[in-house]
């Protein structure tokens, strides 16, 4: 009964999404208040029914209803309860339902928090969100029904993919999808603006908090995914430039450019056409990512099981949504009035420079991700484009952007002059350069990339400090938006420092260890105390004991495991990590080597790796602060006045 209820709720949600899309858009077109007023209740009701469907699927997983194909394929009666719940979004179908739930949630959030938007604007935004929902719910019902029954029911499930049985995976997909899908709001605002011809500073102000919120979630989602890969794949890597990772990274880069460009559009009414195009691009890249991950056109470590019908459907949807929106842009762009002027070294100009660099970096990632596909499609063979390529082209493109990140917030809007900034920053710049190189020399081996990383991190951190001093001296208060921006920038500095160290100074060894034997790595002594069996709820494991000491003092006892999951027969390497602020010591079991209990063991020393996660966390906190700034919570009347002003002024 429960699965049928879920399916029914999903069908109702589809109908409601159709209503949410059609009536308000028609109402806005004909200026019919009654039709427009349908938008909010329809969005809320759609969210309610999708939520019902999601709960139904979750219940099916919790009660082990193996008559549901999706449950039988992705769960197992002996799977711990928490993972049974998270298995709800562990498959293609379930994760799509989660995606739709998030989309409906954002739609409902817009309906609730958009009271101060003009009715026509709100109707258009909610209507466009409804259109996107229609596409995804239809996709699910037609090609990927999560509630499909199988008769007779399976006696036992196939188990959740062991790779996903980790608590990083519990929160990674919801965060990631909140981010991906959140950009649909920015997209909807852009479409609404194009439809109405109202592209002004008020529009930028409305869509800005939504965009920053989506970016915040995406940041968290990406970093959680990276953290999961680091611990779960068992070989200490945290970013592989895999197509699936790039699929999430590309909207992030575009979204980062977008929040900066929106700032300039809101404050100064400049870059309107560019900002709209970026808003369209960011969500388009989210959709492209969905296509790449779910259609099987690229081979990736973590792609879903694939099916050509699904690929064809998403591609069709992609063509309609992206093609349609870009055509709308091309049609309406001439109506966009250019904003005010600014000098070559104003904040506007620097934001623009940051934007074009980010987009160039995005272009490089896109090119590398799709190049193998293009070569194959042209019948020219098979090639691989991997980390060496991406590192080689991405770093030089992003380094200048990071450098400008230090200067931008210190430059004045409109009339900034190079001479002012140069006069202030030339000695600090020299000091940063000197200390960056000194730091790199102080470490055991000089690496130029590490020196560059240190310089950039110090540079950003210094200028963040300077911005605070300026503010406090000027007697101004410190609004959340300011804290948010500076914290996010500082987080980037911390992250860059982490990347510089971990990329240049990580060390690892594959060693053969007999019980009682020991090995050295980066000043640590690892002593193997043998491995013994351990029974898990749904796996058998060999659990090793490795004592870690430094200069004779005990540091930690680690227990890496090699697991074989009962239902799927899959083997998994469960690494054991001892973290602290400056480094991780990381041990993974390889294979048993002989009958005397010797194992091959992988030892890793990862200095500063935790700075990476910390930096990303600071960026997300910064995003949260900026998205909840007081300005965005002003009363309806004040923002109307602001809108009126902006309309006149621009």
Of residues 356-415, those binding another protein (CB under 8 A): 356-357, 359-361, 363-364, 367-368, 370-377, 380-389, 392-393, 396-397, 414-415
> Which residue of 323, 516, 532, 537 would you call a contact of another protein, by CB under 8 A?
323
> Which residue of 232, 348, 561, 629 would you call a contact of another protein, by CB under 8 A?
348
Q: What's the rounded Cα separation, in Å, for the pair 89 and 182?
A: 18
Nearer to another protein, 153 or 319 (CB): 319
Q: In a 3-state reduction of DSSP, which class is residue 176?
A: helix
Q: Which residues, 194 to 213, sit near another protein by CB under 8 A?
A: none
Q: How far is the CB of 140 from another protein (least distance, A)?
A: 19
Q: How far is the CB of 327 from another protein (least distance, A)?
A: 6
Nearer to another protein, 519 or 617 (CB): 519
Nearer to another protein, 319 or 434 (CB): 319
Q: What's the rounded Cα separation, in Å, for the pair 45 and 342?
A: 46
Nearer to another protein, 311 or 597 (CB): 311
Nearby residues of 453 by Cβ (< 8 Å), 6 or more positions away? 496, 497, 499, 500, 501, 503, 504
What are the start-end ranges of the H helices in 296-323? 308-318
Nearer to another protein, 472 or 647 (CB): 647
Please say whether the beta carbons of 286 and 253 come within 8 A.
Answer: no
Per-residue x/- marks for another protein, 142-161, CB under 8 A? -------------------x
Nearby residues of 11 by Cβ (< 8 Å), 6 or more positions away? 141
Stretch of 117-125, 302-310, 433-441, 448-456 contacting another protein, by CB under 8 A: 302-310
Per rule CB under 8 A, is residue 116 in the interface with another protein?
no
Per rule CB under 8 A, is residue 305 in the interface with another protein?
yes
Q: Which residues, 82 to 111, sit near another protein by CB under 8 A?
A: none
Nearer to another protein, 3 or 368 (CB): 368
If residue 28 lies in a helix (H) or strand (E), which one and from where to where?
helix 2-30
Per-residue x/- marks for another protein, 592-631, CB under 8 A? xx----x-x-------------------------------
Q: How far is the CB of 330 from another protein (least distance, A)?
A: 4
Tell me 67's DSSP state.
T
Closest of 520, 497, 508, 519 to residue 582, by C-alpha: 497
> Which residue of 31, 77, 299, 580 would you call a contact of another protein, by CB under 8 A?
299
Per rule CB under 8 A, is residue 556 in the interface with another protein?
no
Tell me which residue has tokens 């559009």: 265
Per rule CB under 8 A, is residue 422 in the interface with another protein?
no
Q: How far is the CB of 333 from another protein (least distance, A)?
A: 4
Q: Which residues, 234 to 293, sit near another protein by CB under 8 A?
A: 234-235, 237, 240, 242-243, 273, 277, 280-281, 284, 288, 291
Q: What's the rounded Cα separation, in Å, for the pair 167 and 147?
A: 25
For residue 428, count other CB atoms closer than 10 A to its CB.
16
> Which residue of 50, 186, 297, 460 would you call a contact of another protein, by CB under 8 A?
297
Stretch of 146-154, 346-354, 495-503, 544-552 contacting another protein, by CB under 8 A: 346-354
Per rule CB under 8 A, is residue 533 in the interface with another protein?
no
Q: How far is the CB of 649 from another protein (least distance, A)?
A: 7
Q: How far is the CB of 274 from another protein (least distance, A)?
A: 9
> Which residue of 308, 476, 516, 532 would you call a contact of another protein, by CB under 8 A?
308
Q: In a 3-state reduction of DSSP, which class is residue 474?
A: coil
> Which residue of 2, 11, 138, 570 would you call a contact of another protein, by CB under 8 A?
570
Nearer to another protein, 32 or 156 (CB): 156
List beta partners, residue 521. Answer: 524
Please give the structure tokens belonging to residue 646.
């902006």
Closest of 343, 210, 215 to residue 266, by C-alpha: 210
Per rule CB under 8 A, is residue 311 in the interface with another protein?
yes
Please give the structure tokens belonging to residue 10.
């999903």
Q: How many residues form the binding site for another protein (CB under 8 A)?
A: 109
Buried b (16+ CB within 10 A) or exposed e, 577-599: bbeeeebbbbbbbbeeeeeebbb
Number of alpha carbons in the 13 Å side-chain half-sphere of residue 212 = 27
Angle, to 10 degrees, between the axis of helix 119-143 and the axis of helix 39-62? 30
Per rule CB under 8 A, is residue 433 in the interface with another protein?
no
Closest of 175, 262, 251 to residue 210, by C-alpha: 262
Nearer to another protein, 51 or 397 (CB): 397
Buried b (16+ CB within 10 A) or exposed e, 477-508: eeebbbbbbbbbbbbbbbbbbbbbbbbbbbee
> Which residue of 142, 148, 167, 340 would you call a contact of another protein, by CB under 8 A?
340
Q: Which residues, 8 to 47, sit near another protein by CB under 8 A?
A: none
Q: How far is the CB of 44 from another protein (least distance, A)?
A: 28
Closest of 202, 39, 127, 190 to residue 632, by C-alpha: 202
Nearer to another protein, 177 or 390 (CB): 390
Q: Which residues, 485 to 514, sit near another protein by CB under 8 A?
A: 508-512
Q: What's the rounded Cα separation, in Å, for the pair 251 and 221?
A: 12
Q: How far is the CB of 352 from another protein (least distance, A)?
A: 5
Residue 577: left (phi > 0), alpha (psi -120 to 50), or beta? beta
For the chain, what percentages of helix, strand and coil (3-state, to nearest 5) are there?
65, 10, 20
Stretch of 101-109, 182-190, 212-220, 338-346 contacting another protein, by CB under 8 A: 338-346
Q: How far is the CB of 404 from another protein (least distance, A)?
A: 11
Kind of pairing, strands 507-513 and 599-607?
antiparallel
């Amino acid at each position: 009964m429960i699965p049928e209820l879920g399916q029914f709720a999903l069908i109702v949600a589809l109908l409601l999404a159709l209503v949410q899309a059609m009536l308000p858009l028609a109402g806005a077109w004909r200026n019919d208040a009654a039709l427009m007023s349908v938008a909010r209740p329809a969005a809320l009701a759609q969210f309610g029914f999708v939520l019902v469907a999601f709960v139904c699927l979750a219940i099916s997983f919790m009660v082990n209803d193996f008559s549901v194909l999706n449950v039988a394929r992705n769960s197992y009666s002996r799977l711990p309860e928490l993972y049974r719940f998270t298995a709800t979004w562990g498959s293609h179908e379930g994760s799509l339902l989660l995606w739709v739930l998030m989309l409906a949630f954002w739609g409902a959030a817009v309906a609730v928090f958009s009271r101060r938007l003009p009715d026509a604007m709100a109707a258009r935004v909610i209507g466009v969100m409804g259109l996107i929902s229609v596409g995804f719910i239809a996709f699910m019902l037609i090609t990927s029904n999560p509630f499909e029954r199988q008769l007779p029911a399976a006696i036992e499930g196939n188990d959740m993919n062991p790779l996903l049985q980790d608590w990083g995976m519990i929160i990674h997909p919801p965060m990631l999808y909140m981010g991906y899908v959140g950009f649909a709001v920015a997209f909807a605002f852009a479409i609404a603006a194009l439809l109405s011809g109202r592209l002004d500073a008020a529009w930028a102000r409305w869509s800005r908090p939504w965009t920053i919120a989506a970016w915040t979630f995406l940041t968290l989602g990406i970093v959680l995914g990276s953290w999961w890969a680091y611990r779960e794949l068992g070989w200490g890597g945290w970013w592989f430039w895999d197509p699936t990772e790039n699929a999430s990274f590309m909207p992030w880069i575009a979204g980062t450019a977008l929040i900066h460009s929106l700032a300039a559009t809101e404050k100064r009414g400049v870059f309107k056409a560019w900002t709209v195009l970026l808003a369209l691009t960011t969500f388009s890249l989210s959709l492209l990512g969905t296509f790449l991950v779910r259609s099987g056109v690229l081979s990736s470590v973590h792609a879903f099981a694939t099916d050509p019908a699904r690929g064809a459907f998403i591609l069709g949807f992609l063509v309609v949504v992206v093609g349609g929106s870009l055509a709308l842009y091309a049609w309406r762009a001439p109506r966009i009035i250019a904003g005010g002027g600014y000098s070559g070294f104003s904040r506007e100009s620097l934001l623009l420079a940051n934007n074009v660099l980010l987009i160039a970096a995005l272009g490089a990632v896109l090119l590398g991700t799709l190049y193998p596909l293009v070569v194959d499609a042209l019948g020219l063979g098979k090639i691989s484009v991997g980390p060496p390529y991406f590192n080689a082209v991405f770093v030089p493109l992003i380094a200048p952007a990071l450098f400008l990140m230090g200067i931008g917030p210190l430059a004045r809007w409109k009339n900034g002059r190079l001479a002012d900034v140069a006069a202030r920053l030339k000695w600090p710049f020299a000091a940063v350069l000197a200390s960056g190189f000194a730091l790199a020399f102080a470490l055991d081996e000089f690496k130029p990339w590490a020196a560059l990383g240190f310089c950039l991190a110090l540079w950003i951190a210094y200028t963040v400090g300077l911005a605070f001093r300026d503010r406090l001296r000027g007697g101004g208060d410190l609004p959340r938006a300011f804290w948010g921006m500076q914290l996010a920038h500082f987080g980037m500095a911390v992250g860059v420092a982490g990347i510089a160290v971990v990329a240049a100074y990580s060390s690892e060894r594959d060693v053969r260890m007999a019980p009682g034997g020991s090995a050295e790595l980066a000043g640590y002594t690892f002593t193997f105390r043998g491995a013994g069996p351990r029974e898990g709820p749904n796996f058998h494991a060999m659990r090793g004991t490795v004592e870690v000491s430094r200069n004779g003092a005990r540091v930690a006892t680690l227990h890496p495991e090699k697991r074989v999951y009962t239902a799927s027969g899959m083997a998994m390497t469960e690494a054991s990590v001892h973290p602290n602020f400056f480094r991780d010591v990381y041990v993974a079991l390889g294979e048993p080597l002989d009958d005397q209990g010797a194992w091959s063991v992988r030892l890793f020393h990862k200095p500063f790796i935790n700075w990476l996660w910390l930096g990303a966390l600071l960026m997300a906190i910064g995003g949260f602060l900026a998205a909840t700034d007081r300005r965005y919570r002003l009363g309806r009347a004040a923002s109307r006045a602001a809108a009126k002003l902006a309309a006149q002024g621009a």
